[in-house]
Amino acid sequence: MKPIERVAMALNHQEPDRVPVYPILSGVTRKLVDASYEQWSTDAGVCANALIKAADEFELDCIVTLIDLSVECDAWEQKLIFHENDAAHPDYSQSVIGSIEEYVKIKKVDYRTSERMMMHIDVCKKLVEARGSELPIVAFVFGPLGILSMLRNQQNMYMDLYDDPDAVKNAAREINETLKDYVNAIIDTGVNAVMFDTLFASGTIMSKDMWMEMEGPLVKELADLVHERGRLVMIHNCGQRIYFDAQIEMMHPQAISFLWPPDDCADFAECKEKYGKEVTLIGCVPPPMVVTATDEQWEETCKEQIDVFAKGGGFMLATGCEYPSNASFDRAKSMVEIAKTYGKY
């Protein structure tokens, strides 16, 4: 069975030959092509080749284009810091939004002026051309509030939400207008799905009511666009107490990638019972275990996820967030092997 067939059955809540698997191999794949982190995250050819090599070498069931969370903020000329062995991030000493009065600077921009957005689009295009007939290609896009926090910094933006929520809301809407054009361009490459990172839709960051007011309507517009274009909507959120119910109401996703049980579930078993027939569940092996766990602990955790989630389909075994960027690939190989053996239906 081809990976694209296996994942399609899981998304339709059917049981394929085995559980699909995808340890979220992102920055770590640079090691497969002897690239620096900056080169991998700025050169579409290098990035695409690394992701393809990882998919081929480790027999992955899909590719997700998670580069880093600073791709989209480049469109507003946010200065970034590139590290030798870690993902790029904003230089907050040079934030685009330096004070609460500066949110008015944020207007819709042409995504085509952003080197990093265009690089990501090119990565999607190369992946679809090279492996699109065999593997689902899932484009990764940061949500509007997340991008705004890259331009201001998360702590300051959170305080601004209380001091002047309209300023934050208006800026987020301008970003969202840009994202609509960007997402349309991504879909034009032929990707199978768009996965939105909804960082703020979790209890550790903001209340459900606040998220529904500040970002819910915006991501609904993005999700509606993806659905209208005939592609799948997926969500990634590795925060604690993630709001499954609110995001399902707003976005109607086909799948959710997550690390912790949702806020209205006591554990993963309740999550499967409550949401397992509504969305495909992707996860939930903690990435730190890649470097901290023994082999036995890693295998046990992977098998526990299969035991809880696999029955009836609608599940994909994965890390709950990005695989550590400097770790060995041993645990990724192990996860795939467990899916192929213990994860048989």
Q: What tokens appear for 176 in the block?
A: 């969202």
pLDDT score, position 271: 98
Q: What is the pTM of this model?
A: 0.97
- Sorted by where each begins, the domain ranges of the chain are 3-341
pLDDT digits (tens, 9 = 90+) for 294-333: 999 999 999 999 999 999 999 999 999 999 999 999 999 9
pLDDT category of residue 80 using cuts at 50, 70 and 90: very high
Average confidence score pLDDT of the chain: 97
pLDDT digits (tens, 9 = 90+) for 123-149: 999 999 999 999 999 999 999 999 999
The CATH fold assigned to 3-341 is TIM Barrel (3.20.20)
What gap in Å lies between CA 115 and CA 118, rounded to an integer? 5
pLDDT score, position 216: 98
